[in-house]
Structure 1
Amino acid sequence: MIHRGTSGSADHTRCPLTAAWLVVGTLILMTEMAHGQDMEPQRQDRARSLLEEIITETPEKAPEKAADRQTDQKPARPDTAPEAKTQPPAEPDAPPQESGPVHPRVERGGSLMGRGPSSLSPPDWSSADDETSMASADQDPPSETEDFEPGELVLISNDMPGAVAMARELAAYRLRIKSRQALKRLGLVVSVFRLPPDAGTLALLAKIRRQSPNMNLDVNQRYRLMGGPRQRYGQDMIGLSTGNTSCLDNARVGLIDTAVSLVHPALAGRSIDLAEFAGPTPAPTDHGTAIASLWVGDPDQGFTPLMREAALSVAAVFRQRGNTIDTTTDTLALGLDWLLGQEVEAINLSLGGRKNRVLDLLLQQLLAKEILLVAAAGNLGSEGPAVYPAAHPGVIAVTAVDANQRRYQRANRGEHLDFAAPGVHVWAASADGTYYHSGTSYAAPFVLATLLAEKHLSSRWQQQAQLGAIDLGIPGKDDNFGWGLIQWPDACTGQ
């Protein structure tokens, strides 16, 4: 195909072709006249037309007609033609190690695609415009890639055959498997795919979703800790004046966070199981250590633990990435699955990010198993967008207040808020000592412990907690404080 340009290269390319056609047409005309044969009217018209077309054709028309001739010779590509012989999508690169044999391709295979086509139509890579847009306009803006892993998509399937089948389908979009792991306790499989280098993450995801809108495929979202700047008090505000929390002595609680310092004086000798999922560059242990100390901190070290004898399981999922501490959707999935295997009855999620359909499905599975999920509302300010998982239906969203019951100035607002708790200048452990901490992260542990105490005492635990809360702000539930400042149940302290 001849492309237009300012250098006039199209004219030079056309000249030999034009001369050739002129010679051929002239020879045909002279040969038939020399034999004394009169040309049929239609043939005469065609010969004259051909000569006139060659002589008068403009440079702009030449490439168009050349392209037309090529198009005429190329058979049309049908959208669906069962009898047509097409090449199958390329198989992904060698799959990673999996827990079980690779099964043959199945049509639905439990990939959670819902009703509709069981396979994806391959993208049309024959269009130069599509390839150009994927390589330029569809690249992820820097502001977007701060929220997710660039060049990766995450898929949730409900079994391994379904995951393998969908990997074959997604190979049509040039997606290649990075990792695949079975979440045995959740009954799911999480797969991470690498995108081709010229594809924008959001653009390719949108293209796939147009073909299969019900597929549980999403970006590999990044989530950050919901702690604010370090800056003391707490238990008195929620009505827990003593360390007697006997109703929670047998509680099993999960924390998905950074690792915790098991040698810290506040935590040494406590019942804590720790599993690392953050890879070679785990985040510092400050945040997780602070949360754990609020729950099980040693009274001999000056702490008033919310559930002194509880068994704590910590899934360390946060990494250090330059100056940023964050985690990803697939790592969260592994941590949540491990916690479920630990038989925890509640999980604290002092983290936040954007809505993600893969995380949504994981949360639904946990809620269906009646796991209490408590999450920090976020520290993006009163005008900040809703943070997930706190905004997910069924998850208890917690905001922070100070010692004067005023809303933490950086806390998110929203109708999804459930309760408020101390979260400004909260005294807690850190990796190398004790500090004052601020943020909705540090309010969430108060609410989780209180709700778990209510749950151990009554089947109407949610209603009891709502009725017992100190109403703040406008009467009733509101966007600043939810139901109000959570209060410890008297029955759990023996009062």
Structure 2
Amino acid sequence: MRPLLPTILAAMALAAAPLAAQLQLPRVPGVGGIVGNVTGTVDDTLETADRLTAREARRLLRVRDQTLARLLRQNSDVIERDVRGELARRGELLAIEASAAQIAQLEAAGFRVLGRERIEGLDIAVTRLGIQSGQSLAQAQARAAAIVPELELGADNLHFAAGTVVAASTSAPLAVSLAAAQAAPITVPIGIIDGAPGNAVPVAAIKGFAEGAPTASDHGSAVASLLRATGVRTIRVADVYGQEPAGGNALAISKALGWLSASGCKVVTISLVGPRNPLVERAIKAARERGIIIVAAVGNDGPAAPAAYPASYDGVLAITGADRKGRALIEAGRALHLDYAAPGADVYAFDAKGRSKLWRGTSFATPLAAARVAAALSNGQRWRAALDTEARDLGAKGADKVFGRGLLCGGCGKK
């Protein structure tokens, strides 16, 4: 069975082709959002893309939902829907900081302990619970919550990449206007939670958190190469996909964040999007309490989509994408808050084989913004003040819901 990440990107390319042609989007508008229907009034959520009509926004979500439903059918042996209808690892629940008495109650009700671990670097205890045969994950999750309502418990939800390749480039070398040779070196270590990069992108360390990891991926290579091109010296990569069909799950992401925290990363960039999850939320909070700045993409499900995570967790820098004309990406998703924009269209980066390609999506805006955070820290600056000074105001004057506090790294990612 093929890993879920490349499968979902390939499926999106086929499912979204008619929509992409109509909207003049790249063939894959990007997977990066939350399964679900449009909620709230579309008029209130469309201000991020004045070229996108309410009907097209709904269609963008329908394409994604249909694609994920197809992937669920194709991988039903390893994934299923949780109590909210979100995709998750099949047959498993995650209990956070569960007491012996709470576990005993669940075992008496037929749940099985599959494993116990304490997440390195974050000191979070997690118990993996198997559900009874014949029960769906949604049924088991609701039942467990009724038995121990005070226990923090959730499914092992899946997260997906928020961008994809648009076209191959004819020239091999990757360069940006903010060249590493010209810019002051960025010495603060940056961590990446994604797929692994290929050999063409040198990094300080790679650790796998999924079956078959580390495995070189195009998406992870692109993210890492953008950091290298902006002058970042030390990059550590946590591969949460490997070759696992249910990779990118909440437990893998939380363990990855713990390892990056213990490894001394001061900034972590996450170009993945999924639903709100109690374990990931707890891991994000613990990492922030240790002084780590987390930068995350808002996804590519369009402005009518439900709020995306981890970008929507408290204290996470939520990053959207803009094109080279300073317009918001019409497929850009949304978060509960928005901090900054960065280039997310016509961005050049390496694939897993070291080939320079053209990429699109909020996935690629996110590492560019993370590099500016690390640059400020490397220079001993107050990073928020430094970013606000650098950010170019776009759209409505001042901070807004389309570009946040402005565009960072505007010249980055160019040839």
After TM superposition, is the score higher than 0.5?
yes
Query: C-alpha offsets along residues 109-147 of structure 1, whole Å, 9 cap, x if unaligned?
Result: xxxxxxxxxxxxxxxxxxxxxxxxxxxxxxx76996661
Query: C-alpha offsets along residues 386-440 of structure 1, whole Å, 9 cap, x if unaligned?
Result: 1110011100011111111111121113451111001112111101222111111
Is 2:188 the counterpart of 1:246? no
Contact 2:114 2:130 in 1 (8 A): yes
Q: 1:333 to 1:457 in 2, by over 3 A?
A: same
What CA distance in whole angstroms lies between the structure 2 residues aligned with 1:209 and 1:258? 33
Q: Which residue of 2 aligns with 1:405?
A: 326
Shift of 1:207: 3.3
Matching residue within 296, 318, 321 for 2:241 = 318
Matching residue within 231, 249, 256 for 1:307 = 231
Q: Which residue of 2 aligns with 1:167?
A: 103
What CA distance in whole angstroms lies between the structure 2 residues aligned with 1:466 and 1:314? 28
Contact 1:374 1:448 in 2 (8 A): yes
Matching residue within 210, 217, 223 for 1:278 = 210
Query: C-alpha offsets along residues 365-394 of structure 1, whole Å, 9 cap, x if unaligned?
Result: 000011010001101011111111001110
Q: Which residue of 2 aligns with 1:259?
A: 196
Shift of 1:168: 2.2
Contact 1:190 1:333 in 2 (8 A): no
Contact 2:82 2:88 in 1 (8 A): no
Matching residue within 95, 113, 118 for 1:155 = 95
Is 2:342 the counterpart of 1:421? yes
Contact 1:163 1:189 in 2 (8 A): no
Q: 1:164 to 1:287 in 2, by over 3 A?
A: farther
Shift of 1:204: 2.9
What CA distance in whole angstroms lies between the structure 1 residues aligned with 2:323 and 2:339? 17
3-state SS, counterpart of residue 280 of structure 2: helix
Q: Which residue of 2 aligns with 1:135?
A: none
Unmatched 5+ stretches in structure 2: 1-79
Q: 1:255 to 1:142 in 2, by over 3 A?
A: closer
Q: Which residue of 2 aligns with 1:109?
A: none
Q: Which residue of 2 aligns with 1:228?
A: 164
Is 2:407 the counterpart of 1:475? no
Query: C-alpha offsets along residues 432-469 of structure 1, whole Å, 9 cap, x if unaligned?
Result: 22211111111111100101222333553213312431
Q: Which residue of 1 aligns with 2:270?
A: 349
Q: 1:187 to 1:146 in 2, by over 3 A?
A: closer
Q: 1:173 to 1:446 in 2, by over 3 A?
A: same
Contact 1:176 1:194 in 2 (8 A): yes
Q: Which amino acid in 1 is paired with 2:143?
A: K
3-state SS, counterpart of residue 293 of structure 1: helix
Query: C-alpha offsets along residues 342-362 of structure 1, whole Å, 9 cap, x if unaligned?
Result: 111111111010001111101
Is 2:258 the counterpart of 1:337? yes
What CA distance in whole angstroms lies between the structure 2 residues aligned with 1:242 and 1:341? 27
Range 191-200 or range 391-400, more displaced: 191-200
3-state SS, counterpart of residue 166 of structure 2: coil
Alignment of 1:117-136 (within 5 A): none
Identity %: 28
Contact 1:243 1:306 in 2 (8 A): no
Query: C-alpha offsets along residues 1-38 of structure 1, whole Å, 9 cap, x if unaligned?
Result: xxxxxxxxxxxxxxxxxxxxxxxxxxxxxxxxxxxxxx
What CA distance in whole angstroms lies between the structure 2 residues aligned with 1:403 and 1:141? 38
Q: 1:188 to 1:287 in 2, by over 3 A?
A: same
Q: Which residue of 1 aligns with 2:141?
A: 205
3-state SS, counterpart of residue 388 of structure 1: coil
Contact 1:167 1:176 in 2 (8 A): no
Q: Which amino acid in 1 is paired with 2:398?
A: G
What CA distance in whole angstroms lies between the structure 2 residues aligned with 1:477 and 1:235? 27
Shift of 1:221: 0.6
3-state SS, counterpart of residue 388 of structure 2: helix
What CA distance in whole angstroms lies between the structure 2 residues aligned with 1:481 and 1:152? 38
Alignment of 1:38-187 (within 5 A): 147-157=87-97, 164-187=100-123
Q: Which amino acid in 2 is paired with 1:468?
A: E
Contact 1:470 1:487 in 2 (8 A): no
Q: Which residue of 1 aligns with 2:317?
A: 396
Q: 1:356 to 1:470 in 2, by over 3 A?
A: same
Q: 1:282 to 1:345 in 2, by over 3 A?
A: closer
Contact 2:91 2:136 in 1 (8 A): yes
Range 381-390 or range 332-341, more displaced: 332-341
What CA distance in whole angstroms lies between the structure 1 residues aligned with 2:324 and 2:404? 18
3-state SS, counterpart of residue 363 of structure 2: helix
Contact 1:234 1:422 in 2 (8 A): no
CA RMSD of aligned residues (A): 2.7
What CA distance in whole angstroms lies between the structure 2 residues aligned with 1:171 and 1:415? 37
3-state SS, counterpart of residue 196 of structure 1: coil
Q: Which amino acid in 1 is paired with 2:88?
A: F
Query: C-alpha offsets along residues 283-329 of structure 1, whole Å, 9 cap, x if unaligned?
Result: 65111111111122xxxxxxxx2124x2111111114456xx74111
Q: 1:293 to 1:247 in 2, by over 3 A?
A: closer
TM-score by length of 1: 0.61
Q: Which residue of 1 aligns with 2:54?
A: none
What CA distance in whole angstroms lies between the structure 2 residues aligned with 1:197 and 1:365? 34
Is 2:371 the counterpart of 1:465? no
Contact 2:207 2:213 in 1 (8 A): no
Q: Which amino acid in 1 is paired with 2:368?
A: F
Q: Which residue of 1 aligns with 2:151?
A: 215
